[in-house]
Amino acid sequence: MQIKIELKGIDKVLKGLDDIAKRQVPKAMALALNRTAQKVKDGEVEEMKRVFDNPTPYTLSSIYIKKATRDNMVAEIGVKEDAGKGTPAANFLRPEIEGGARRAKRSERALQLSRLLPQGMSIVPSKALRLNQYGNITGSRMVQILSALKAAETMSGYTANVSARSKKVNKKPREYFVALPGTTKGRHLKPGVYERYGKNNWRIRPVLMFVKSPAYRPRFRFHHVGKQVAGQVWVSEFKKALADAISWAK
């Protein structure tokens, strides 16, 4: 998912300019492309704030810029495809841009590989689970759940052991189990992951619920916003960049 701002027809721009201006045009063009790309990126971030409910810093920082140079008059704005050990932003933003089914998160793939989460289903936090300020389950809690279910061992990027700090806070490890239709354990419960708690772990409460994977309608107008912003600012950005480049050359 990228937007490319490409410059063509340089010869037309050079007509009527003096020698100093002509020498500075390529530099000015690359500068204007990159300044325009930054404005496009800012516009995409504002669109995410408008469309999404309390987006995380990770989501808001998911737009990248590949800058233009004097030898390559193309600036690229896109959604990051890589995320190290996390979930690439493109995985969850693509359905918001193009529509369709959301790709499984790493935690969901771990549960699927362990045959704990049926295909075609996703996980959502239960109302009983304490969430972070963005309405998401914390990474440490998810690792704790996956570790207890032996699901973390199926995915690189997750540690299969609860951290020392977690062990210190919870003197005894939390106990979790999966309830699915047709299974003996928790067959009377809604599909999901449950936690045992209380004295002798005789009480249970849901932590993750299994729901049918949703299909999304496009709502993040990534391409529309990019074209709109670029069209609005390009002329003024080029004029300013050319004036700057000429002043630097004198």
Per residue in 181-239, pLDDT tens?
766 666 688 999 999 888 777 788 999 999 998 888 899 999 999 999 999 999 899 88
Measured CA to CA in angstroms, residue 204 lies from 125, 171, 175, 193, 194 at distances of: 15, 18, 10, 10, 6
CB 179 within 8 Å of CB 126: no
**pLDDT above 90: percentage of residues in the chain:** 34
The conformational region for residue 43 under phi > 0 = left, psi -120 to 50 = alpha, else beta, is alpha
Among 38-47, 54-63, 158-167, 228-237, the minimum mean pLDDT is found in 158-167
pTM of the model: 0.70
What band does 244 get if pLDDT is binned at 50, 70 and 90? confident
Phi/psi for 36 (5° steps) reads -65, -40
In this prediction, residues 110-138 reach a mean pLDDT of: 88
Phi/psi for 76 (5° steps) reads -120, 135
Single-letter code of the amino acid located at 84:
G
CA–CA distance, 107 with 123 (Å, rounded to integer): 9
In this prediction, residues 167-186 reach a mean pLDDT of: 69
Q: Which residues pair with 65 in a beta bridge?
A: 77
Residue 224, both tokens: 């529309």
pLDDT score at 165: 45
pLDDT score at 209: 93
Single-letter code of the amino acid located at 186:
G
pLDDT score at 161: 44
pLDDT score at 166: 47
Pick the residue with more confidence: 184 or 89? Answer: 89
In terms of residues, how long is the chain? 250
Measured CA to CA in angstroms, residue 56 lies from 44, 82, 144 at distances of: 14, 17, 22
In the sheet where 203-212 sits, what is the strand order?
121-125, 203-212, 192-197, 175-179
CB atoms within 10 A of CB 160: 14
